[in-house]
Amino acid sequence: MKRIYISGPMTGLPGLNYPAFNAVAELLRAEGFEVENPAENPEPECRSWTGYMRLALVQISRCEGLVLLPGWPDSKGARLELHIAQELGLRVAQHTDSTSVADLRWTQP
């Protein structure tokens, strides 16, 4: 597994939860993974949730794994990203504040 997508809640959170996305991206990159981090995406021209999700779906399609951030069940976008990842056969792991990258437990596709 080389490329991982980070999924989690953004809407309504301070700083759109970018600090959590960026922290996990840094950890994954330090372990040698290529990372698709939606917190690094440019703002779509339409500036809508749909525009952001269209970017995300393209990114997910390039990945072999998806990491879920805490609070993901409360996010419509993260739930959709998980569904797409599962349908595409990606491995999935949940990251918690106390979990290091080495401790991630990946599901089998």
Tell me the pLDDT tens digit for each residue of 35-73: 999 999 998 899 899 999 999 999 999 999 999 999 999
Alpha-carbon separation of residue 52 from 30, 56, 66 (angstroms): 26, 6, 17
Among 4, 1, 100, CA closest to 59: 4
pTM of the model: 0.93
Three-state DSSP at 7 gives strand
CATH architecture of 3-43+50-102: 3-Layer(aba) Sandwich (3.40)
pLDDT tens for residues 74-88?
A: 999 999 999 999 999
Q: By the 8 A CB rule, do 36 and 62 touch?
A: yes
Q: Could you tell me the sign of the dihedral formed by the alpha carbons of 33, 87, 57, 17, in that order?
A: negative
Count other Cβ atoms within 10 Å, centred on residue 65.
Answer: 22
The tally of CA atoms less than 13 A away on the side-chain side of residue 87 is 9
pLDDT tens for residues 6-37?
A: 999 999 999 999 999 999 999 999 999 999 99
